[in-house]
Each structure stands twice: as structure tokens, then as C-alpha cells.
């Protein structure tokens, strides 16, 4: 059963080939067997999952089942889950038991999905390799010496290793798309505001967006359809109808115009990755699409702008973790200042502390205009580049990551090199656009991802374009040999 996609599992449940309880038991056995090697899960909720599965089976017998009823999934440990630890991959929240469900969790519970557990992640979503987690690094199922990408590396690894058919992730600067690429799965970052952020622990509030990760675009369409929608509790949620993402999946690509940014195919892109991406784009030409060279001239400014905006917002968002109300609290503080400084120093890891310091500096008196304001102006220039591009083309394509997965420990002591891992994904978040990564091939034994970028609220078109490619290729069906 673990080899089946969500769509196939849904059909099997509907046909009575197996029950949700049987499916959940089978996947929990795989999690127990393989998680010690991968470290993809922080918390496994076996008893609660089986209870949800039995409820789902009862719903199906009563004729009240939908396509996701009884389907096991996992949640990135950044989404609050009522009665279950929500750690954000940090010592700061190691003992925090969320008293409510995030909207994403609430919506997936409502359609009958079964939560297997909470997946590992870079601490407070700050990282590109899943090596900053308090619970240790996640390993890539394709090569246990390699990183899975970050910050949603636990979700990507769990899907790639067939421990779960789908998982939730969050994307602040590429944290769904980059690990999806490095682990050979499909992941979509929706338009900012399409999926509620309520109950999703904030890193950078103007950039964070939740989305699904699965093996196929079809599966992502099923998950996104359940996750998306307006939420009164989230002031950044967009009040806009959610389309049927499944309805357009099979639409032909004849006449589709694909923009290829010259900036995405130059210096910094690994030659072997470029060859794989070019072959994937050639496949789209066979499907009737036309390719057009375009320019995103301000794209080289995305990383410096992002690493001012995101740390500035994180320094504000993480100020609440002070040892006074909840989260890690140091022992025997001498006074209030000692409580704050030691609790935060002990609770936050090195990368989180680095970004808090950078952000606090950027927002400080005398530097706000020089750094934060200037970064926001660059952000507008980047958005304008995309706006002009979408007047010429329907979608933009290119590599998701400049390299395949790198080895564990290879970049952990070099933050700048690590930050360059997100060079092709960050601009999408700065502009608030939707982006999708899908498997496009391999370099050696390590997967390569193709990134598709759409105009605002064009998730249905991105899913259609990815699905059509997956109908004529099998990269998304391939499994790591050790976990097949």
C-alpha cells in the first residue's frame, strides 16, 4: 500500500480494497522501521492516528466520505496540533503542547485525513538543509549522507521514503520547493494568502505560506483543495473562492508559453543540473508548449533583500519567546534580564540567534532606512519584474535548486554558501507568487527538481502543467531503493 499515491489510495478505500485502519497500521509500521535512519519525524501519534482511521472508516460506511477521508498524512512541526507537542524544531518549544489546531490541521481533520505525526524541520523554519533542528538533522532517503533540504526536510524525506503519501510544509524562501527538489517529490507553495497562516508558528509573516508535499501534482491538488480558503482569524488570508484544482489537471498544453529567465541558467547553476532541466523543458515542447527567453533583471538582488526582510520579521516574531509565559525557561534566574537572556540563549540555536541579531540590527534606529526600507524597495522591483514577465508568458520555468542535495555538514559552517541554495526560490516569496517543484531527473543517485512559477492565484494552472509532464515521465514514481 505504501507504493500508492494519494489518488490511488483514495480509490482503493472507496472500492473497499482495504480500510483506513489497515492502511494507517501499515504506514505506522514503516515509520517505526525507517524513522531511526531518517529522523524525519519528531513526534509519532500512533494511537490518535488509529482512532482517526477508525472514525474515517465509520464515515465511509455511512456514505459521508470524501477523497481524503482515511488518507494518512504528516504535519510539519510548525503547525499547532491540539494536545500534541508543537516544537518548531527548537529546544525553545520542546515541551510546548499546543492547545488548539492550526487552520490547516483543522481543515484536513474536517475532511477525514489521518495524522501520523509531526515532521522534523529546521529550527523555526530557518535553514536550507534541515541541520539546524534541535532534534538532529534529517537524512535524504536517496543518500543517507546527504541533506534533504529545508526547512520542510522532514516532510519531504517522509514522502520520498514512502512513510506517508502526503505531508504539509511551509515555504518562506523556498522551504517547500527546495526540499521537494532534493528529495524527488512534488511540492507547491501557493500564492501568499491562499492558505491560512493561523496556528502556523510565524517566522517571517509577510513571506510564510503553507502548502502540500506529495509524490504527484494530482495528490498536491487534492491536498491544496482541502487546505486553501479564506480564514477570518488570519488577517493576511485572501477572501477569494477556491477553484476545483482537480478539474483542470488534464487540460492540454498546446499554446502554453513558458518563460525561461536567462538569469536562472547562468553562473552558479551546476552544469549537470542544467542539462536535466533542459531535457525537462524539451519535454514540454513535445507537449505543445512554446518557450520564450525572458529576463528578471533584479533577481540577483533577491537573496540580500530576503536576508534583511526575513530576519527583521523574525526578530519581531520571536520576541515573544522570553521564558516568561511559555517555552523554555532557564533555571534559577537572578533577575528579569537574566531570565530573558539565558532563556533565549539556551532555547534558540545558533542560526536562529544569528538571524535575530541581523534582524534587530536592520530595524534599529539609524539603520532602518539603509537596510529594511531599501530591502522593501528592492522587493517591489522584483515583483515588477515578474509582472512584466507574465505579460509575455503564462508560466516561468527553471531549476529549483542550483545543485542536487549536498552532503551533511558540507555547508553548515558557511552561512552565505548555504543561503545560496535558495537563489531560485526566494524571489517567488518576495513577490508573493505561487511556485511548484516537481521531479525532473537525477544527477547520479540524487534528484533534480524543475520549478514552475505562476501568476497570482494560478495554482490550478501550475498543477495542470506539472500533471501533464508527470503523465509522460516517471521521475515522480521512482523510490529510493532502500525504502521501496
Adjacent-strand bridge partners of 399: 450
Catalytic residue among 20, 87, 175, 401, which? 175
Could you tell me which of 178, 186, 132 has the C-alpha nearest to residue 152? 178
Catalytic residue among 10, 19, 76, 299, which? 76
295 catalytic, yes or no? no
Catalytic residue among 87, 90, 151, 437, which? 151
76 catalytic, yes or no? yes
374 catalytic, yes or no? no
* Angle value at C-alpha 103, between 98 and 106, nearest 5 degrees: 80
Residues identified as active-site: 76, 151, 175
Amino acid at each position: 500500500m505504501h507504493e500508492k499515491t494519494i489518488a490511488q489510495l483514495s480509490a482503493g478505500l472507496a472500492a473497499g480494497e482495504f480500510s483506513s485502519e489497515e492502511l494507517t497500521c501499515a504506514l505506522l509500521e514503516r515509520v517505526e522501521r525507517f524513522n531511526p535512519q531518517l529522523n524525519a519525524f519528531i513526534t509519532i501519534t500512533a494511537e490518535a492516528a488509529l482512532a482517526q482511521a477508525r472514525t474515517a472508516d465509520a464515515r465511509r460506511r455511512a456514505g459521508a466520505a470524501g477523497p481524503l477521508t482515511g488518507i494518512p498524512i504528516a504535519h510539519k512541526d510548525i503547525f499547532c496540533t491540539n494536545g500534541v507537542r508543537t516544537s518548531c524544531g527548537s529546544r525553545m518549544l520542546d515541551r510546548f503542547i499546543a492547545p488548539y489546531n492550526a487552520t490547516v490541521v483543522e481543515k484536513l481533520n474536517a475532511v477525514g485525513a489521518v495524522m501520523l505525526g509531526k515532521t522534523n524541520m529546521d529550527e523555526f523554519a530557518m535553514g536550507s538543509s534541515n541541520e539546524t533542528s534541535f532534534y538532529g538533522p534529517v537524512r535524504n532517503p536517496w543518500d543517507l549522507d546527504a541533506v534533504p533540504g529545508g526547512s520542510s526536510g522532514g516532510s519531504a524525506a517522509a514522502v520520498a521514503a514512502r512513510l506517508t503519501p502526503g505531508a504539509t510544509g511551509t515555504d518562506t524562501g523556498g522551504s517547500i520547493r527546495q526540499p521537494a527538489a532534493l528529495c524527488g517529490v512534488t511540492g507547491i507553495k501557493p500564492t501568499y494568502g491562499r492558505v491560512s497562516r493561523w496556528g502556523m508558528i510565524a517566522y517571517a509573516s509577510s513571506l510564510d505560506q503553507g502548502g502540500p508535499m506529495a509524490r504527484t501534482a494530482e495528490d498536491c491538488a487534492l491536498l491544496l483543495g482541502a487546505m486553501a480558503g479564506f480564514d477570518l482569524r488570519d488577517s493576511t488570508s485572501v477572501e477569494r473562492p477556491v477553484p476545483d484544482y482537480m478539474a483542470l489537471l488534464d487540460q492540454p498544453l498546446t499554446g502554453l508559453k513558458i518563460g525561461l529567465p536567462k538569469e536562472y541558467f547562468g553562473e552558479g547553476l551546476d552544469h549537470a543540473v542544467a542539462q536535466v532541466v533542459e531535457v525537462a523543458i524539451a519535454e514540454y515542447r513535445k507537449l505543445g508548449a512554446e518557450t520564450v527567453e525572458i529576463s528578471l533583471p533584479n533577481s540577483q538582488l533577491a537573496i540580500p533583500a530576503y536576508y534583511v526582510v526575513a530576519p527583521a520579521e523574525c526578530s519581531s516574531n520571536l520576541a515573544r519567546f522570553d521564558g516568561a509565559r511559555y517555552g523554555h525557561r532557564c533555571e534559577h534566574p537572578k533577575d528579569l534580564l537574566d531570565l530573558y537572556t539565558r532563556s533565549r540563549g539556551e532555547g534558540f540555536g545558533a542560526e536562529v540567534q544569528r538571524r535575530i541579531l541581523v534582524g534587530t540590527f536592520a530595524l534599529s534606529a539609524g539603520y532602518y532606512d539603509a537596510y529594511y526600507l531599501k530591502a522593501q524597495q528592492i522587493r517591489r522591483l522584483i515583483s515588477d519584474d515578474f509582472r512584466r514577465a507574465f505579460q509575455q508568458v503564462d508560466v516561468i520555468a527553471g531549476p529549483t535548486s542550483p545543485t542536487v542535495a549536498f552532503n551533511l555538514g558540507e555547508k553548515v559552517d558557511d552561512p552565505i554558501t548555504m543561503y545560496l541554495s535558495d537563489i531560485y526560490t526566494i524571489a517567488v516569496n518576495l513577490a508573493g507568487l505561487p511556485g511548484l517543484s516537481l521531479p525532473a531527473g537525477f544527477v547520479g543517485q540524487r534528484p533534480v527538481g524543475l520549478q514552475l512559477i505562476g501568476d497570482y492565484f494560478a495554482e490550478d494552472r501550475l498543477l495542470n502543467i506539472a500533471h501533464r509532464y508527470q503523465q509522460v515521465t516517471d521521475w515522480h514514481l521512482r523510490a529510493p531503493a532502500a525504502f521501496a
